Structure 1
């Protein structure tokens, strides 16, 4: 059967507040649960997007196999298979499960455990039936453990919107952040090296799916990348973590822009505006990180580092705000729940590959028209830089739809040429915005700032940019047969 749920992360104190308030009308059923997760030593199951656990609650043991693409953000839609077992040892006798595990069964061994106290409610919200489970406990792997505090809202009947309405009610009682990690993923992360910056990954797209489904999957990957880096920022002020969080926002904003024609929904423009606001809120800390990397004057570097602390504290306050929490839930609802609403998507049935080809052509024309770079002004070069960035992201989003041998070869060349052009346009933009950036930080004219961008030779950058642009225009487009 298919499982549809929304996951939220709470603090331990938040869980206590929720239990004290109990907005779910009836008293909860309280269960003590222990879940043992199995895989091979080479982690073959998780590499295939599978998980296998045996969960004990009282004297009952249930074995569950789940299959998913690993791209979901807070809302998870996965296939799952359950059966009762009598011991903490997998039973692999169902032909479908045998085929799914593809020979891994004999090598399965317990890798980690999850111990929780589960508070469970069955909630009626209009015509919807929702199972609410608040889990408080820990994940244990070898000699390591990590706390766990999350709430899962699983729709049993009714419309998906009811899940998100209930999530917002929870967030009014205690801060609730969109969850992106399954319990299985938490265990694997505990076994692995410390997690740092999370880079973009491809979405599981196929040429047979609709354009709207391709949008939903790609957007979910972007949202997940942002949330994983946002989580890392709560314990690390690593500049690369912030950079990748910003990359995720830029990719998501670009995807919304690329797919504008798919939607006639009043929420669409609001979400785009909120994403732009959030991206701007991350800009100050990122600018300071960049300047610190370039500063050679010791006094200036010290001043920048002091400013960095203030900028990151401001950013942390923003990321923990109700506005950002609400935005994450709103985006997840848009890309998961409303995808099935045909009235919001008049082009729902259009194939992903056909849509991608049209979108790439449109973006390509904007970039290809950007000739005479040397004679253009800064504003025109900035517009070209933005168009090139959207084209690059579109090429990355839609790459899984163009997987023939010749398309793959052309795509590789195309991305390399795009990267070269973006590097040059990025350096030119840095020169153009440097005075404004320094002024906003109160550093204009301060000793040492003249060296921050001195290495740039604008005439040489313009020559290289024009050369990179001409090279890109001459490359064959991977999404066209000719």
Structure 2
């Protein structure tokens, strides 16, 4: 299981005097210092793919946690004290020790494939640390935090070798709170420490060789509602949103490879968010770059969609069969439907695996890195960005109006839901188009929450409700199509198809019930109050 590392780092002068840590509020005692000699070799590609994304991979001897360590940014969200936190995976030293130099464990190499993209990992830096650890404890003896006073000597590998020395202090939470971290920080800053200029020892070491060895292309700061002009905050919010989705794809990649259904879903959503954002804010982007990228994102989302849809429908119909009285389930219904989805999901998993191992996927990730770098330094008028979001919202209105104008009589389940070439002739398709428009408007509002604040967040919530209602309806459409196809095959094999028809009818009734919530959701979205932040 990954370990969550929550720590803060400080630069100090060589003659820095560590203050009395027992004066930190909440700390009842401080252990005597324990000295460790740590020797670490850091691995990366020649292009520093890991370092540029804030990821470190090392083999370290000495200390209480000797072994292989893989550290990655923990990501956005979570508790405030987890801002800047990293997740850490560990493996024993004997993994990968047969090669010289030692090779990283295969499990770690698999975790990093979305970053290495076929490039080999090799040693890029060596860091030796003389560490004095002090543990802060509570009244009951619980370890609250560990304060490490590090004297560091580092050198790079490669054609040009550079060496540097410095001293730094780390405070890592064990069972303490964010308040304790804040209190320790005040004490250290008052004593002359400074917030560290680099997020890790490796970042500091590699900066001596190649400037910018930090997270690829991210905007200078995460924009929420902080200082800066409206224009600065608006575009920075969009650029950060794009970078967040790129990071999500890379972070979720291992989970998809391991078959985690939730990772499949979230990675697909990240692709959709990116593609939608590129379309909504197209006038402010380089279309020579973003149009081909949109095609590739659609390809990847499509491959993931085959697997995700199969997983969702399999669970939906399994639950529907279980809910029926035994006497109404006639014939091998559950087995036949299970076999249908097992075959479908197996083929879809194979396609996803081939996609993630393909040069096309690596090229897509490279293009996303380039996009993030290109958008980080751009500017755009906040009013124009709002205008694009407003346009996306009006598209939702038109799609909903079209659905309402069509007959309320349920149309026959189509074999394929067509796109919107011009005139939509049935309500089912119109509702599906309204759902897609709602997603696009929601993602536009998400990207601009830094300037829209509370009103924007409320609109996002309302659009999500609309998306949920329309999504439940669409799930029923797909379920009915599956039931019809499997039921026909059962009939042709001389099985009783009664249960398939029964389930089909129940799905149709469920679809109409869920649409009963649609008018209220529509009224919420159409309120002027919900849109006032858009101008």
**Which interval holds the TM-score relative to the shorter structure?**
0.5 to 0.7
The match for 1:358 is 387
Match of 2:186 in 1: 103
What TM-score does the superposition give when structure 1 sets the normalisation length? 0.57
Partner of 2:247: 224
**Using the alignment, how far apart are the partners of 1:250 and 1:83 within structure 2?**
46
When residues 456 and 411 of structure 1 are mapped into structure 2, their CA distance, relative to the original with a 3 A threshold, is farther
Report Cα offsets for 1:163-202 as digits up to 9, x if no partner: 9xxxxxxxxxxxxxx999xxxxxxxxxxxxxxxxxxxxx9
Give the alignment partner of residue 530 of structure 2, picking from 469, 477, 480.
477
Structure 2: distance between partners of 1:9 and 1:449? 53
CA-to-aligned-CA distance 1:317-355 (integer Å, 9 cap, x gap): 211222111101111111214654xxxxxxx4323x323
Which position in structure 2 is the counterpart of 1:321?
A: 358
Is the 8 Å Cα contact of residues 152 and 165 (structure 2) preserved in structure 1?
A: no
Q: What is residue 454 of structure 1 aligned with on the other side?
A: 506
User: Residue 293 of structure 2 contacts residue 364 of structure 2 at CA under 8 Å; is this kept in 1?
Assistant: yes
CA distance in 1, matches of 2:250, 2:430: 33
**In the aligned structure 1, how far is the partner of 2:255 from the partner of 2:131?**
26
Partners of 1:179 and 1:40 lie apart in 2 by 35
Displacement of 1:449 in angstroms is: 5.4
Q: 1:145 is matched with which residue?
A: none
1:285–1:308: 8 Å Cα contact kept in structure 2? yes
The alignment status of 1:349 with 2:402, answered yes or no, reads no
Distance 2:132 2:283 in 1: 44
The CA distance in 2 between the partners of 1:399 and 1:40, in whole Å, is 41
Aligned residues: 345
| SS of residue in 2 equivalent to 1:349 | coil
The one-character-per-residue Cα deviations of 1:241-296 (angstroms, maximum 9, x if unpaired) are: 21111111111111111110102441110000100011001111111111221122
**Residue 334 of structure 2 aligns with which residue?**
298
Moved more, 223-232 or 423-432: 423-432
Query: 2: distance between equivalents of 1:300 and 1:411?
Result: 46
* Equivalences for residues 411-430 of structure 1 within 5 A: 411=456, 413-430=458-475
Contact 1:372 1:466 in 2 (8 A): no
CA distance in 1, matches of 2:338, 2:444: 40
Give yes or no for the alignment of 1:336 onto 2:389: no
1:466 aligns with 2:488: no
Counterpart for residue 63 of structure 1: none
The 8 Å contact of residues 203 and 217 in structure 1, kept in 2 or not, is answered as: yes
CA gap of 1:398–1:228, structure 2 versus 1, over 3 A, is same
**Is contact 2:296-2:364 (8 Å) kept?**
yes
**CA distance 1:436–1:320, change in 2 (3 Å):** farther
Q: CA 1:379/1:38 → structure 2, altered by over 3 Å: closer, same or farther? A: farther
Q: Unaligned regions of 5+ residues in structure 2, if any?
A: 1-47, 58-102, 111-117, 138-146, 156-163, 172-180, 194-199, 322-332, 407-425, 491-496
Show CA shifts across 1:72-130 (max 9, x none): xxxxxxxxxx9712xx7559xxxxxx99984264999xxxxx999x9x999xxxxxxx9
Larger of the two Rg values belongs to structure: 2
Q: Is residue 403 of structure 2 the alignment partner of residue 373 of structure 1?
A: yes
1:401 alignment partner, one of 451, 467, 470: 451
| Secondary structure of 1:365's aligned partner | helix
